[in-house]
Structure 1
Amino acid sequence: MSTNDEKQLDANGSSRRKFLRNSGIAAGGVVVGGTLGGLLGFNDKGEQESTATATKETQSAQQHDQALEYFNNRADFDLLGQATERIFPEDENGPGAIGLGVPYYIDHQLAGKWGINAKDYRQGPFFEGELNQGYQSQLKYHQIYDLGIEAIEKYSQATFNEGFTALDGEKQDEVLVAFENDEVDIPGIKSSFFFNILRQSTLEGAYSDPLYGGNKDMQGWKMKEYPGVQMSYSDEQVASKEFIEIKPASLHNTHN
């Protein structure tokens, strides 16, 4: 994110990227090493995945990737959406996390192999490791998300007497910063651990291939002028010393 992005103001005069700046995300934040190395993956949850919701987004073939597969509680999914939107908010550059479909991306990952840590070593004993030792919890990622979302709601109620989705943006930021600063108790994990996973998942959903449910209409790539998955580049493009704008392509394009 550029300095100009951080300085852009909304109609109320407050920075749309204020949370990113205050929480340290603009400088990279604190990311647990190795936590999300295997995040991208296809869903293999089984028959239950198609019955999670009957909302209108499943009616269009063009929106087949915007159907819930893990969450069966719409309130939890909406809370997740608003939390990701505060991490990656809409501004003059383009859509935020919700507009990019990031909540659906996370939902699909939780329903798949990543959500059950299918590629991780899962034998105990489990001890709290050093930062450079990466993920050490016995909890699976979908359990961490369940506990984290529940903790966000409880902390919001206890602090502001309102649920997270009823709070204005500034108060939502306060809640998320408290999680990043380990000021919230979550059984079995540090709140900053959940926040880092949420942050990393949000960024991956914004910039991953649309095939995985996020980066809707490749808008994340378009904001960064990233060409996506090109089948090939011409000799002129390779040899050019000037910036060449290329219409982005996704795995959807290469498969069709």
Structure 2
Amino acid sequence: MPKSSKTALDRRSFLRGSLVAAPAVLAAKPAEAREYGGDGGPWEPNAARPPTVAPVPSNQFFTDDERRFVTAAVDRLIPPDEEWPGAADLGVPDFLDDQLAGSFGRGDRWYMQGPWPKGTDTQGYQSRFAPAGLYRRAIAAIDDHCRSAFDGQRFAELSAEQQDDVLKGLDEETIELEGVSAKTFFDLFLQNTIEGFFGDPVHGGNRDMIAWKMIGFPGARYDNRPYVSRHNERLDLEPVSVAGMTAASIRGRKE
């Protein structure tokens, strides 16, 4: 059945709202941006040194089983529909892989010493594990839970409805994981998925800037003054990444 314009608008509105609501709802620390680097030379006026583009697919951190879990799970958090692709097709697993393989995954800038009493909702990330360790332990524990609850099937092998039930159980803490907090992992995973879906394509997600096109975001344009007074008007501008590239030029760099 063709998708109605109302349904399409609802999805756009929901995902727009998630950009505003997510920071207030999720207490987990967001993924840090990639460290941009140019040609390494000294600064010179009028010399542009755009950031490098994340490798896609990077395959630096996830095992095959972990990638299967992540690919299935991000598509339940931001699923595809008849008009727009979901998180997996937009490269969110590659974004997560790249982030977890680097300083964010190691928690290089975090205080990671004990003690580790249970924190309050306002205290943010309180796990004794850096993000990479949290992901690795949680994914293994979730697959163990699924094998026990669903006749030996891993999360990626479940139906969409069963996967939704598992993710809901993690969020609501009706599922307990061995050795790791289900809620802590779910909050971090959801926030990182949103970041990968809507972030600049140089980080590995938001492939071809489709998420920006979906919500009408023009990207990191140098000068928006001509459009400031044009209220309630769809501009249909080609998005531009922080590297000063369009979707076509980013594709060319990766190929």
State whether TM-score is above 0.5.
Answer: yes
- Does residue 182 in structure 1 map to residue 173 in structure 2? yes
- Does residue 168 in structure 1 map to residue 159 in structure 2? yes
CA deviation string 1:144-174 (max 9, x = no partner): 1011111221111111111212111111111
- Residue 200 of structure 2 contacts residue 241 of structure 2 at CA under 8 Å; is this kept in 1? yes
Q: Equivalent pairs: percent with the same residue?
A: 31
- Aligned position for 1:192: 183
Task: Give 1:239 deviation, angstroms.
Answer: 3.2
Kindly report the root-mean-square deviation, in angstroms, between the aligned alpha carbons of the 2 structures: 3.2
More moved, 119-128 vs 131-140: 119-128
- Aligned position for 1:241: 231
- Residue 90 of structure 2 contacts residue 207 of structure 2 at CA under 8 Å; is this kept in 1? yes
- Residue 142 of structure 2 contacts residue 177 of structure 2 at CA under 8 Å; is this kept in 1? no
Aligned pairs for 1:1-256 (under 5 A) are 4=7, 31-33=25-27, 35-42=28-35, 64-71=55-62, 73-161=63-151, 162-233=153-224, 235-243=225-233, 244-254=235-245
- Aligned position for 2:253: none
- Structure-2-length-normalised TM-score: 0.76
Task: Give 1:98 deviation, angstroms.
Answer: 0.8
- Residue 106 of structure 1 aligns to a residue whose secondary structure is helix
Q: Which has the higher contact order (CA 8 A, sep 6+)?
A: 2
Q: 1:198 to 1:5 in 2, by over 3 A?
A: farther
Looking at structure 2, the residues matched to 65 and 252 of structure 1 have their Cα atoms a distance apart, in angstroms, of: 16
- Structure-1-length-normalised TM-score: 0.76
How many positions carry a matched residue from both structures? Answer: 221
Q: 2:80 is aligned with what amino acid?
A: E
- Residue 239 of structure 1 aligns to a residue whose secondary structure is coil
Q: 1:104 is aligned with what amino acid?
A: D
Q: 1:158 is aligned with what amino acid?
A: S
- Residue 244 of structure 2 aligns to a residue whose secondary structure is helix
- Residue 100 of structure 2 contacts residue 106 of structure 2 at CA under 8 Å; is this kept in 1? yes
